[in-house]
Structure 1
Amino acid sequence: MHTHSLDLWRHSHVFLGSEHHGNERRVWLVVALTTVTMVAEIVAGSMFGSVALTADGWHMGTHAAALSISGLAYAFARHQAGNPRYSFGTGKFGELAGYTSAVLLALAAIGIAYQAFGRFLDPVEIHYAEAMLVAVVGLVVNLASAWLLGHDHAHHPGDAEGHVHSHPHHADGNRRAAFAHVIADALTSALAIFALLAASLFGWAWIDPLVGVIGAALIAVWSFALIRATASVLLDAMPSDEIARAVRTEIERGDDRVVDLHLWQLGPGHLGAIVSIVSHTPQPVSEYRSRLEKIRGLSHITVEVQQCG
């Protein structure tokens, strides 16, 4: 059999999400916006002698570095998508970046909590005007960033084509992690504004570290949820019991029975499936594959058939 004939039976292993290019572009826009804000705050802080502005500028720098992980992950996955070294493509590289970003977010929560408890024990003088300016600038930048990352342009068709399953889209862990970063920062800024107003109006100096502890707790909850979600993809956990039931329903007709089933996520919106079938009267593999094509989201299907004695 000639090589060009074999090519007809080969298939692509590019399992990037349908919004991969758009997500990559939006992440780099957020990195650029954050970097510009960082430079502006550091320059303004140096010119006007504001320690608060300078400190927040450097904080924005660490924020831009963390978001750059997401951007680089998208770029790497795109450039290496056709590399045969990656057996099932590079669709899960974003989950690895998302997991890393979630760990960094958890460390940031620990740092905020540590600083807040330190303020309880050793209160410091707060310059309300400068601190309020920093918090407002941070909130505006992070809300703009959240809009960029949270604005979904993807179009997900319904069941008009007759597919038996209508929920194939699995969240992009990389984009979720980047979105969580900017939302966490926006939350921190909003809570800071509330605390500063309360402290300046009513003299409640204790409310500033208290709000810091609350913010750290909320960020920790988000980060651990992200760690759990991305880790389950990296460890090839079963992505959906509903899809597993749909596979069994489509295959198990007559005396055909599924004896082993593996489902895992290859990338955002792409699932892989290995199905082992036993039957007294086995059908051709193409028949079983045609049944599974009704389940939207199965992008790589391997079928093994054994005849029962």
Structure 2
Amino acid sequence: MPDGHAHGDGHTGPGHTHGVNAESDKRLLSAALALILAYMAGEVILGVLAHSIALISDAAHMLTDAASIVLALVAMRLAARPPRGGYTYGLNRTEILSAQANGITLLLLSAWLTYEAVRRLIHPPEVTGGLVLATAAAGVVINLAATWLIGRANRGSLNIEGVFQHIVTDLYAFVATGIAGLVVLLTGFARADAIASLIVVALMVKAGAGLVRDSGRIFLEAAPTGLVPDLIGRALADRPHVVEVHDLHIWQITSGMPAASAHVLVALGEDCHAVRADLECVLAEDYRISHTTLQVDHASEQFLTIERHCGESHGPSHRGK
């Protein structure tokens, strides 16, 4: 049996499916897009008539909602293309680009709305409370429907989760705007409109920062949340006949598609193929990592008396018991 063995199984991880599920997701997103576009057009007109920054900010947010859905649909179409040429993983990460773009637009929009809200706190315009309340109430209904549609899609995809965060934030915005309209209607306190907008801004910053952080972790090849490479390395090193596991890398290709690679040294005289199969089983069953590339070699006599097997370290080493 030769000492060097490398293996790549080519399987995609759990949750990374296209086909029927992807087509269903596209229909759900398209239906939500139609609802949002129809309502947004009316809200812009009513916001101008009511002199309400809260309504106009909601409409601006809905525009980003619509853009985020369009971007998500384009990303899904690109991600479904098979690997070819230099793109050996296909275009799966276009979905992560979409999620990051959604997060960035939320942050940029929140900066603009903060400026407008503060300006109107200092110089509050006259706000038509009844019109604001009625428009916000209709917006709550529209966004509940859109949230329900997108909530039925695969939120395990960071791409779809980005759209969902946009819509949920908009739902909160309409609730805050409705409360502001009621306050203005009952008390005449016009600054309630700007205060409601600032509450929405806080929600937008939270959602946007989360999307940028999560997509950034994928682009930086960080281990998926909940998977600790050191713990996994020790678990693999403790398997029968494993002398050492080093150069262990765990990352995500895209949402729901974790991957792992490692160099494994096996005790002299043991079956490298059997050890590799055992380690792949551990990764798949215990950590839901089925896209693996394991280089398996027999440990030499010289290795047993030296500290390091490779001339250059690419990560921590985990020695077997």
Normalised TM-score (structure 2): 0.76
C-alpha separation between the residues in 2 aligned to 1:15 and 1:304? 23
> Secondary structure of 2:253's partner?
strand
Q: Percent identity?
A: 23
What is the number of residues matched between the two proteins? 282
Match of 1:196 among 155, 158, 181: 181
Superposed CA offset, 1:245-301 (max 9, x none): 346424532451212211111233221110111233253245313432342432321
Quote the residue 1:305 is aligned against.
Answer: 296
Quote the residue 1:252 is aligned against.
Answer: 238
Quote the residue 2:16 is aligned against.
Answer: 17
* Alpha-carbon distance, 1:51 to partner: 7.1
Superposed CA offset, 1:184-214 (max 9, x none): 1111110011111122212322322222212
Superposed CA offset, 1:140-191 (max 9, x none): 1111111111135x7xxxxxxxxxxxxxxx9311111100111111111100
Quote the residue 2:126 is aligned against.
Answer: 125
> Secondary structure of 1:293's partner?
helix
Superposed CA offset, 1:210-266 (max 9, x none): 222122112101210111011101221011454643464245324512122111112
1:57–1:148 distance in 2 versus 1, CA, 3 Å: same
Match of 2:210 among 225, 238, 257: 225
Superposed CA offset, 1:26-53 (max 9, x none): 22221122123234556x769x977769
Q: Which has the higher contact order (CA 8 A, sep 6+)?
A: 2
Q: Spell out the pairing of 1:123-202 with structure 2 (5 A cutoff).
A: 123-151=124-152, 171-202=156-187
Quote the residue 2:271 is aligned against.
Answer: 283
Quote the residue 2:252 is aligned against.
Answer: 265
* Alpha-carbon distance, 1:307 to partner: 3.0
Structure 2: stretches of 5+ with no match in the other structure: 1-7, 301-321
1:23–1:235 distance in 2 versus 1, CA, 3 Å: farther
Q: Indicate if the aligned counterparts of 1:272 and 1:301 stay in contact, CA closer than 8 A.
A: yes
> Secondary structure of 2:262's partner?
strand
Structure 1: stretches of 5+ with no match in the other structure: 1-8, 155-169
1:145–1:63 distance in 2 versus 1, CA, 3 Å: same
Quote the residue 2:79 is aligned against.
Answer: 77
Q: Indicate if the aligned counterparts of 1:102 and 1:226 stay in contact, CA closer than 8 A.
A: yes
1:34–1:124 distance in 2 versus 1, CA, 3 Å: same
Q: Spell out the pairing of 1:233-252 with structure 2 (5 A cutoff).
A: 233-240=218-225, 242=227, 244=229, 245-246=231-232, 248-252=234-238
> Secondary structure of 2:224's partner?
coil
Do structure 1's residue 292 and structure 2's residue 287 form an aligned pair?
Answer: no
C-alpha separation between the residues in 2 aligned to 1:60 and 1:211? 16
* Alpha-carbon distance, 1:82 to partner: 3.6
C-alpha separation between the residues in 1 aligned to 2:175 and 2:256? 34
Amino acid at match of 1:179: F
The answer to which of 50-59 and 88-97 deviates more is 50-59
* Alpha-carbon distance, 1:57 to partner: 6.0
1:25–1:17 distance in 2 versus 1, CA, 3 Å: farther
1:62–1:228 distance in 2 versus 1, CA, 3 Å: closer
> Secondary structure of 2:222's partner?
coil
Amino acid at match of 2:217: S
* Alpha-carbon distance, 1:122 to partner: 1.3
C-alpha separation between the residues in 1 aligned to 2:138 and 2:260? 48
Amino acid at match of 1:118: R
Quote the residue 2:201 is aligned against.
Answer: 216
Query: Could you say what the CA RMSD is over the residues aligned between the two structures, in angstroms?
Result: 3.1
The answer to which of 183-192 and 203-212 deviates more is 203-212
Q: Indicate if the aligned counterparts of 1:31 and 1:64 stay in contact, CA closer than 8 A.
A: yes
Match of 2:66 among 51, 60, 64: 64
